[in-house]
Every structure is written in C-alpha cells, then in structure tokens.
Chains A and B, each alone.
Chain A
C-alpha cells in the first residue's frame, strides 16, 4: 500500500495519510544517529534525519572499505599461525 503510494503518487492527499508514519519513523531513526542524538533533542526535521541517516550509513560503508584494505595489507605482511590466531581471538 504505502510503497505504491511512494512510487506513483505524489499528490499531497496521499502524503497526508502517511505523514504520521513518516514522523514516527523519523523519530525512531533519530535515536540511532549519533550526531543527532548528541545535539538537539527534538525539533529535527524529517528530511534532516533521513539525510543524516543516509550520510551515516555511507560513512560506515566507507569505514568498512578502508578497514578491509587495511586488514588485507596487515594480514599479508604478518603471517599468523594457529596459535597466534587463538591468542588474537582470546584478546579481542
């Protein structure tokens, strides 16, 4: 229902029905995003929260990308045997 509304209709009539859903979603997302959580408490626009969410996910993706490259470099240079792997596991 709502997904069809998102895709095809852009009239204000349809969006009014889903407004409270959006507000609900946005208020919950707000709690997840560190930047918004730290800063102001309420009064953050839906658009802003969504934007911050997208930015946050993208930055997490970038971090994973960087970390993956770093890990592969580190693992290539240091040869880990079974015992050392066990130590790493226990210390993490």
Chain B
C-alpha cells in the first residue's frame, strides 16, 4: 500500500512514469501538438491512476483548510488540475498564471473579458446584424471558454479543447468519488478503520 500513496506535497513526483513524462516534456515545443502526443495525453486523463493521484492531492490540500469556502475548494481544484497537466497545455499554464498573478492581472483580464462579451453580444442582436457567421461566433465562444485560448489558431484550439475536456471530466469524476465517499460516512472512527484494513 505504501507504494500507492503519493507524497503529501501536491504534484505526483514519485513514479518512474513521471520520469518518463519529465523527459517528454523537454522534447519539442508544447505549442506544436502532434496528434499522437495529444492523444496520449488525453488517454492519460482517463486512467484510474491519474484520477487517484488528483483526488488524493485534492483531499490533502483541502484537508489543510477545513474551514475553507466552496470557492476556495474550486480554485484549488482547478489549480491542482492545471498542475496535473504538467505545463504541457496552454489552458493549464493559463490557469496557473492566472492564479499566481492574483489581484491586478486577474482583475484586468476579468474586466476585459466582460467588456468583450458585452461588445460582442449587443451589435449582433440589437443593431444591424454584423455579418459574423454563426460558426465563427461559436469558435470565439469556445476560445473564451478554454483558459488562455482566445487568440489561438484553429488546430491548436482543437487540441487544447480536447485536452481540457478530458481533464475536466477527470476532475468531475474524482470530485464526485470523493464527495460520495465522504457523504457515505467514509471518515470512520478508529473502529471502522480496523474493519477496513
């Protein structure tokens, strides 16, 4: 069992698999996605192992601030997810940068984001319809949804979206599993622990 337990610090730094991934990280530009590498990364999000590592990191992080709010939990959840991506994707780097450069930078982005949304919505609906085809509009909407991908060219947007969706799905699975476990009274008193082991 000891081999399964990751280190208490966030970030799965333990396994030989991580060493392999570390080597892969240095090869090639992260922005030049090859389909095979992208697929490999997406498959990684769907492994039990990845989910387990993420879930345990999340538990450890949240356990240390038991009085934290839901918003704190959500921020930590996204941050840990971005960390799990190991800097290989644009969305993950954007999340980490967004959290680190707290205050001024984030607020500036948020204001710009809201402003951009408003500008885009009104002209299309109220004034004479600007001829932006639906597809282009939706591409922009997608670019806004995936962190850090607003100005991304088409092919990269696809890769980022695929990876982002796979990561989000894993996040939901992991958090659902944790909450179901906790809700069912998983944190047993010591007597329960003996039964389990």
Contacts and interface: CB of A to CB of B under 8 A. Distances in A.
Nearest to B138: A50
Contacts, number: 172
Contact of A85 (B59, B71, B166): B59
Interface residues of A, number: 51
A57 B151 contact: no
B70 A73 contact: yes
B165 A32 contact: yes
Interface stretch (B13-21, B93-101, B103-111, B140-148): B140-148
A3 to B, nearest CB: 5
Nearest to A34: B169
B73 A72 contact: yes
A92 B138 contact: no
A2 B143 CA distance: 14
B41 to A, nearest CB: 14
Contacts of B183: 74
B136 A10 contact: yes
Contact of B56 (A46, A57, A76, A92): A92
B142 A71 contact: no
A75 B182 contact: yes
Interface string A39-78: 0000000110011011011101101110111111111101
A5 to B, nearest CB: 9
State the majority secondary structure of interface residues on A.
helix
Interface string B168-197: 110110111111011101111010010011
Given A25-B158, A86-B5, A92 B169 contact: no
B162 interface: yes
A10 B153 contact: no
Interface stretch (B25-33, B60-68, B82-90): B60-68
A3 B151 contact: yes
A67 B169 contact: no
Contacts of B193: 83-84, 87
Interface string B40-82: 0000000000011001100110110011111111100110000
Given A10-B132, A47-B138, A89-B5, A21 B154 contact: yes
Interface of B: 1, 4-6, 51-52, 55-56, 59-60, 62-63, 66-74, 77-78, 130-136, 138-142, 145-146, 151-155, 157-158, 161-162, 164-166, 168-169, 171-172, 174-179, 181-183, 185-188, 190, 193, 196-197
